[in-house]
Chain A
Amino acid sequence: MSSQLVQPMEEYLWEQYEDRKQQDESYLVGMWTFLSTEIMFFGALFISYAVYRYKYPEAFYAGHEYMNVALGTINTAVLLTSSLTMALAVHFAQKRKRWMQIGMLVITMFLAFGFLGIKFVEYGDKFREHLVPGYNFEWNQANVNRLEASTAPINIIPSLKAGSLPADSAISHDAQMYFIIYFAMTGLHAIHVIIGILIMMVFIGMLVANHPSVRYHMPMEMLGLYWHFVDIVWIFLYPLLYLIPR
């Protein structure tokens, strides 16, 4: 690919552009346009969330009781920290401090893995609790499990406030809707995290090899923008799914 560069490597200019300024700006406009598309991707799900929460407030409340707020909060912190380290990686890219940049990217990547790991644990709980729509969703069973767990000595599942759940099948379908939305939204978000991790891996590899195309800070800035977007989406998901008020 580098044979396509018409300038010396330091300049890193693709042949369709006139100069670096044009190229840099094109990258940025491109990334922002892409993110506007992304907003609409999630937008469709946010709208569905709004419609069903408006329709089934009790079921959404009941469903959210099964969220592990502690893990969700930790994950929020993890992701926010990763945004910080990503911002630092961009900073070091601009300053051309390659090893610092690599270091920050590696930390970001580990935090991203951490996020996925915790998500994995949470998903696992849902499987065990019969809360996975289309796979083993059984609202009553879930409630029974829950009651037992709340009396167990070690409480893995957050405790059930006595009498707070309509533990009957009346809202079973509606509660399932909550979990469909939950899995759809966090799933789409997780896909974005995974894509981010893959890009980071490629980046780290290229940086270690000192590949010419990453000696230039723009690609890094774009990765940064993408990662912050993923972060922001979570900032919305977390309260909407975990912190539904009474």
Chain B
Amino acid sequence: MSVTQMENTTPEPHPRKTYLNEGNTIGSWLLTKDHKRIAIMFLISISLMFIVGGWAATMIRAELVEPQGHLMSHETYNKMFSMHGIVMIFFFLIPSIPAVLGNFMVPIMIGARDLAFPRLNLISWYLYIIGAGISLAAMLSGGVDTGWTFYTPYSSVYSNTHVTMTIVGIFIAGFSSIFTGINFIVTIHKMRAPGLTWFRLPLFVWAIYATSIIFLLGTPVIAITLALVVLERTLHLGIFNPAYGGDPILFQNLFWFYSHPAVYIMILPSMGVVSEIIPCFARKKIFGYNFIAFSSLAIALFGFLVWGHHMFVSGQSVYSGMIFSLLSFLIAVPSAVKVFNWTATMYKGRISFDAPMLYALGFIGLFTMGGLTGLYLASLTADVDLHDTYFVVAHFHYIMVGGAIMGFMGGMHFWWPKITGRMYPERWAKIAAVITFFGFNFTFFPQFILGYMGMPRRYHWYPPEFQTLNILSSIGAAVLAFGYIIPAIYFIWSLKKGPKAPQNPWRATGLEWEEVPSPPPTHNFARLPIVEREAYDYEWMDGRDDSLGAASVTGGKGDG
């Protein structure tokens, strides 16, 4: 890459202009069109939502310590797990990586000054805030007890909780996803730097592209479906109510038509992050670039064909069941391709175990567990037994917490130096990564066994023989909580006290490391870069003996 920034090697007399110090007023943040600032605003908002969702999870696990817990009533328990699911899925996981890391990184990674539609990007954030605010208000002013799935006719006729208001919030936040998706698709199509062909793109960009496709094609369907639920509820229509000739299975079909692809909204970006981290910390070119890129697209497209596996016991036709089962097995193939390729990348690599790498490795292990148990559930006969038990709960937590959030944390550590210009404390980060991994397994592995033994999900009273495993799970959850609290503390600490980050602390490839100082200036590039090499050319990076590498070696030790 042609431009080399020398300014990082010598200490600067004046603070360099960055996106962070260009305007410090509240207005300069709330009205910004800079993708980097919007990413930061998303980071803060989704973190707050994570705290809300995490608090609900804590209450759930506390209640489940006893077979007949008396921490809360049945109604409260229902509201608690509904709030947990709704907040975590719609307001944390779905926007997490795309709106934070994607927003920040994609334009820089492809050599653009911003996203294609910066104002739309800002509108996305406002829609998210309004949506989250409304849903949160609904949940705090009495709550909703339908679960995150809003199955009809319970949600549309019988539940007398704040269903309407919650749905309105989710509906509005849906537009935030759609606009983010449009922005990414246009940006990736049209704003790549000269020389940056599709097959030189970092795999994270491919993953975000695939995710955006799901945003675009899936979100409108759930939006209309939930709007119909609200109509049914407020006007007492019978769209999904069998008493009026409505079809609840239609609701389930429409719901899962979005919500299965939505699980890939949550996991694909994490897979993208892992594809960045693994080659960097194995110092090797990624194995099978094309396979990983296309498997992202394959997942996005095939993900729309398997929704029926959530409805095996709903009364859908046996033949649908068989076809959906078969297709669900097929969708595991592109995911497995990725796992094999990451593993092959590490083979004979020079691996170093920095915190991002620990998270990436954790991701691979836990995602594999989640994926394999997905295959159990995709088998018709097994699912008749396992449906609506803790086995399903364990399955999707292995993927969404063990996979998606591990990837998010890995990405946060990997790019933290770039985003903030500060290093986080490596030793603490390693400790946190390990705690997260073990805490996670303690929490959710027992749930596989519980589910297999027949403990149903969404009940807070259970037979006493399940207590030991439940206690284990709750203890694990407490450990897991530390895995998240510790990074929260040192990230905030590092903002002021962390050593100044060099431009490329990991000696990683990619425009964001090679061309842009940490933290980046407002318009990212002084001069637009010209890309001349494939992605992940670590042989070249390691052979290179210039300021960039040197700065990295000393910089890591800290000069701030």
Does B bind A?
yes
Mark A residues whose CB is within 8 Å of B.
15-18, 22, 25-26, 29-30, 33-34, 36-38, 40-41, 43-45, 47-48, 51-52, 55-56, 133-135, 173-174, 176-177, 180, 184, 188
Counting chain B CB atoms within 10 Å of each CB, the highest count among A15, A18, A180, A184 belongs to A180
Whether A173 lies near B238 (C-beta < 8 A) is yes
- Is the Cβ of B217 less than 8 Å from the Cβ of A184? no
Q: Which of B92-128 touch A at CB < 8 Å?
A: 112-118
A36 to B216, Cβ gap below 8 A?
A: yes
Using A38-B220, A47-B250 as known contacts, list a sample of 9 further A-B pairs with CB atoms less than 8 Å apart, ordered by residue number in A: A17-B191, A18-B528, A26-B186, A36-B216, A37-B181, A37-B220, A40-B218, A176-B238, A180-B238
B182 touches which of A18, A33, A180 (Cβ 8 Å): A33
Does A30 lie within 8 Å of B115, measured CB to CB? no
- Residues in B with CB closer than 8 Å to A43 are 220-221
Closest to B224 in A: A44
Q: A51-B250, A135-B235 are in contact. Are A33 and B224 (CB under 8 A)?
A: no
* A contact residues around B247 at 8 Å (CB): 51-52, 55
Q: Which residues of chain A come closer than 8 Å to B528, judged between CB atoms?
A: 18
- Size of B's binding interface in residues, CB under 8 A: 41
Question: How far, in Å, is A61 (CB) from chain B's closest CB?
Answer: 15
B220→A40 contact, CB < 8 A: yes
Q: Mark B390-427, 1 if CB is under 8 A from A, else 0.
A: 00000000000000000000000000000000000000
**Bound form: Cα–Cα A184–B238 in Å:** 13
Residues of chain B within 8 A of A34, CB atoms compared: 182
Whether the pair B237, A40 counts as a contact (CB closer than 8 A) is: no
- Give the contacting residue for B250; candidates A15, A48, A176; CB below 8 A: A48
Contacts known (A47-B254, A52-B247, A173-B245); A30 close to B220, Cβ less than 8 A? no
Question: What would 25 A/B residue contacts be, using CB atoms closer than 8 Å?
Answer: A15-B114, A16-B191, A17-B116, A22-B190, A33-B181, A37-B181, A37-B216, A37-B220, A40-B216, A40-B220, A41-B221, A41-B223, A41-B224, A44-B221, A44-B225, A47-B250, A47-B254, A48-B228, A134-B231, A173-B238, A177-B238, A177-B239, A177-B244, A180-B239, A184-B228
A26 close to B116 (CB less than 8 A):
yes
Shortest beta-carbon distance from A193 to chain B in Å:
17
CA distance A135 to B231 in the complex (A): 12
A15 touches B523 (CB 8 A): yes
Bound: A40/B181 CA distance, A: 14
The answer for the CA separation of A44 and B239 in the assembled complex, in Å, is: 13
Is the Cβ of B191 less than 8 Å from the Cβ of A26? yes
Q: Give the complex CA separation of A25 and B523 in angstroms.
A: 21
* CB neighbours of B244 from chain A (8 A): 173, 176-177
A102 CB to nearest chain B CB (Å): 25
- Give the Cβ gap from B444 to chain A, nearest Cβ, in Å: 34
Contacts of B114 in A (CB 8 A): 15-16
Residues of A within 8 A of B176 (CB): none
Q: What does the 1/0 interface line of B229-265 toward A look like (CB < 8 Å)?
A: 0010011111100001111001000100000000000
A168 to B238, CA, bound (A): 19
CB of B275 within 8 A of chain A? Answer: no
| Residues of chain B contacted by A41 (CB below 8 angstroms) | 220-221, 223-224
Shortest Cβ distance from residue A63 to the other chain B in the assembled complex, whole angstroms:
12
- A15, A26, A47, A135: the one within 8 Å of B190 (CB): A26
| Docked-complex contact B186 and A48, CB < 8 angstroms | no
Task: Contacts A37-B182, A40-B221 given; indicate if A22 touches B245 (C-beta within 8 A).
Answer: no
Return the CB mask of B499-540 against A: 1 if under 8 Å, else 0: 000000000000000000000000100001000000000000
Q: Give the distance in Å from the alpha carbon of A133 to the alpha carbon of B12 in the complex.
A: 70
| Contact in complex: A33, B223 (CB < 8 Å) | no
The answer to the question of B208 belonging to the interface, with a C-beta cut-off of 8 Å to chain A, is: no
Is B219 engaged at the interface, CB distance under 8 Å to the other chain?
Answer: yes
